[in-house]
Amino acid sequence: MVLRSGDDEFVVPQIPQLVNDVSRLNAVRVAEVISPQSVEDIQQALRDSDGRVSIGGGRYSQGGQTAYPDSLHIDMRSFNKVLALDTAKKQVTVQTGISWRQLQSEIDPHNLSIKIMQTYANFSVGGSLSVNVHGRYIGEGPLVGSVLGLKLVLADGSIIAASPQENADIFYGAIGGYGGLGVIVEATLQLEDNLPVERKTRTMPVEDYAAYFHDAIRDNGEVVFHNADIYPPDFTHLRDVSWYASDKAVTKTERLIPADQDYRLEVALEKFVAGSDFGKWSRQHLIDPLLYYPEKVVWRNYEASYDVAELEPDDRSEYTYGLREYFVPVERFDEFVPKMREIFQRNKANIINVSIRHAKADTNTLLSWARSEVFAFVVYYRQGTDAEAKQAVGVWSREMIDAAIAVGGAYYLPYQLQASKEQFLAAYPRAKDYFGLKWRLDPNNRFVNMLWAKYYPFNSDLMAQARKDIAEYYRPVEQTLLTIPEWYLVFQPKEYADYLAAASDPSRFPFFESIDEYWVLYDRVVAISAQNYPANAEYRTMLRVIGISTTLEYLVKGAYEASVGRFSRWLAGGEDTPEDILIQRAHRAYSELIFDEPWYEFDFAAWRDRIWSDTPLWGDHAFRKWERKLFFSAEFGLKSLYAKLIKYAAQSTYGETDKRIYLTAQRVQSNSIRLPEEPEGAEIVATGGEDYIMSVPRWGGFTEIMPKFLNTEWTISDISGNHQIAVSLLAAKAADVSSLQAQELFRSRLVSDDSRERIVLMVAVTELAQLILDVESAGIELEHVFDY
């Protein structure tokens, strides 16, 4: 019997070569991850390799700025020591993988505070330098204003020092340079005194804010922190939240926010506010007035040590929270706000908050977002993770960028890469100077991430437009996992056909265990997918529908076979009748067809008719003969009707099924000058530079064609725009596959054969051909390569 449904105790495996960010929208498969603890580790890694390199810290950027497919990824989080602290000069030198919170713990005992940082302290210093962050500090500008010097490791492994006085071009290129010039390994920062600060708030119409800020905040030396929160969905009123230097006793005894603080209430309130306009009204008129009512005096370091955990939902698979940021010259504030309001309201954007910050001009960094004194509009919003939601956010985001540029402003680069190249160059007019510096320091273009893959001219993808023109080229990466339970409904009929072909008793086939195995696979792939990728609610719904349908079918069939079928088999002495043999052939034909075609294309009606036309009405074991005729006719008759219904629904919804999938391949270096031939079954559909776009069969044909790339002149760089793919093997139980260059995700049972099991792996697309070769050499059966 079915004792459980699913696999609640499954421990989700980590995919170590998968780099994602806080939004969970940008999973990137890298070739290798290293966690250096010394400069020498970084130098050696660069000297020992010659390919692309990406650099990551806290991973709080939200558009792939920390990763690049198949790159050597340098995870800086273990590179986190304080190297020197001069309390007299109020200066500190650190390894750049250190987080601001870690640094605060080191300097707070000396009553010192960070001069400039962003609101949340989880970010790494190196990441903050790379994006040139800003905060709520009045009288300050971007982070560059507190940096005294840097050290970088360049692409060849050499070290260079940079400051406003030495190698100034590199200093002002690396800060705000998003890891494109080298690895920032050391930074010397100016600090400030720690002191108590008192919170004061005030609400006002948005149109009063610019004058109020100029008169009351801008030049007020007592104001340490300031921001103003505009309330959606009307965007007509705001709340000034300012922190003033104070000589009052603190109302919080802690000098830093405790690292283990519980934020369940904050997360619940955030969800409530994001969920409806009523939630937003409640925040403005009920929640915030209560929140800001008590007097609050805290240490400067306390107010600077916020934890992003207060914003982190339990699950980001179905929806996620994101940031956008737009910089507007202070004199254009009143012109920009109505544009912003109109864009958000017309696009029905789910904006939770718009926080206004102030920054002094930064005229030195090459990628400055504050070429003059600006207000920063920090937009916090919620969105779905499906393709439609991403597209909708892209629309209003690009409109906001145009609105900012139209008033002489800019937008911030650490977020989703939805700006056009034209918008990027308009917002960052000195980008060409940056590109020239990168060309000089990194001539082989080793330091790359998804940001520079899009905007650095020498990363121009000649095939980008061709891929866009192929409607079915891009497929969601998570579907390589989500197809696994769907494919189980292909593997299980084959297992059943093999079982019948071995003259086994069909009444003893483990149908109930098959039901359980489907839901185990469903739970496992959903759990792995939820940890690493968007939810893909549509695909999950489809899996639940076919799972419920299959469950009902197998319950009925299992119960029937265990009763009437077993009785008729006993009466026949365990012998096969002609009907049994025909049913075996029908299930074999079905199991073979569904590897290459949708199941509803099988001609159930023809096989139903054949059990009457191809087998005699009378003969030995008459009860078994007629029981099999009637049961098989009922089963295949119902499936025939159901198949017609599903086929009609599928074609009405999706049109004709595309039986091809697309990949990008390159020709392996060869002395031959002839044009390379594609593997049999593949077709070249476009070429550009060294890239060739090919179409190959989907489903079973995909697994058949992949090994053909082993003995050809081709190497595959992506499949459907993805750089990782799931593979299943069939092997003896407890077989050792640790030598294979792939990540084992889990093992699955074959319900009719206890001696073997299914092993599901995740492999880099670039390593797929080698994996297939290694599997063959090990004498293991390649079951399937799960396309998307």
pLDDT tens string 576-631: 999 999 999 999 999 999 999 989 999 999 999 999 999 999 999 999 999 999 99
Per-residue confidence at 291, pLDDT binned at 50, 70, 90? very high
Is 648 in the same domain as 673? no
Q: What is the pLDDT of residues 722-770, one digit of tens each?
A: 999 999 999 999 999 999 999 999 999 999 999 999 999 999 999 998 9
Q: Which residue among 654, 680, 714 closes a domain?
A: 654
Q: Is residue 166 part of a domain?
A: no
Is 212 in the same domain as 357? yes
Per-residue confidence at 670, pLDDT binned at 50, 70, 90? low
Q: What is the pLDDT of residues 542-573, one digit of tens each?
A: 999 999 999 999 999 999 999 999 999 999 99
Q: Which residue among 427, 442, 460 closes a domain?
A: 427
Q: Is residue 313 part of a domain?
A: yes
Residue 741, Ramachandran bin (φ over 0: left; ψ between -120 and 50: alpha; else beta) = beta
Q: Is residue 531 part of a domain?
A: yes
Is 203 in the same domain as 267? yes
Is 709 in the same domain as 732? yes
Per-residue confidence at 182, pLDDT binned at 50, 70, 90? very high
The whole-angstrom separation of Cα 588 and Cα 343 is 58
CA-only gyration radius of the chain, Å:
31
The whole-angstrom separation of Cα 202 and Cα 62 is 32
Q: Side by side, which strands form the sheet with 374-384?
A: 297-299, 196-205, 237-245, 223-230, 351-359, 374-384, 319-329, 410-411
Is 529 in the same domain as 554? yes
Is 662 in the same domain as 562? no
Domain count within the chain: 3
Does position 150 have pLDDT exceeding 70, yes or no?
A: yes
Q: Is residue 16 part of a domain?
A: no
Q: What is the pLDDT of residues 209-265, one digit of tens each?
A: 999 999 999 999 999 999 999 999 999 999 999 999 999 999 999 999 999 999 999
223, containing H or E segment: strand 223-230
CATH of the domain at 306: 3.30.70.2520
Is 649 in the same domain as 663? no
Per-residue confidence at 445, pLDDT binned at 50, 70, 90? very high
Domain that holds residue 212: 196-427
Does position 27 have pLDDT exceeding 70, yes or no?
A: yes
Is 586 in the same domain as 502? yes
Does position 316 have pLDDT exceeding 50, yes or no?
A: yes
Is 280 in the same domain as 409? yes
The whole-angstrom separation of Cα 373 and Cα 362 is 8
Q: Is residue 115 part of a domain?
A: no
Is 417 in the same domain as 485? no
Strands 743-750 and 753-764: what pairing? Answer: antiparallel
Is 404 in the same domain as 523? no
Write down the pLDDT at residue 676.
66
Q: Which residue among 596, 621, 654 closes a domain?
A: 654
Q: Is residue 220 part of a domain?
A: yes
DSSP, collapsed to helix, strand or coil, labels residue 230 as strand
Q: Is residue 1 part of a domain?
A: no
Write down the pLDDT at residue 2.
37
Write down the pLDDT at residue 464.
87
Instruction: Please give the average per-residue pLDDT across 172-183, as a whole number.
Output: 98
Residue scoring higher pLDDT (8 or 263): 263
Q: Where are the alpha helices (DSSP H) in 502-600?
A: 511-532, 537-560, 566-571, 578-593
Measured between its terminal Cα atoms, the distance across the chain in Å is 33
Distances (CA, A) of 490 to 582, 594, 704, 750: 20, 6, 15, 13
Is 670 in the same domain as 647? no
Instruction: Please give the average per-residue pLDDT across 660-688, as a whole number.
Output: 81
DSSP, collapsed to helix, strand or coil, labels residue 568 as helix
Q: Is residue 15 part of a domain?
A: no
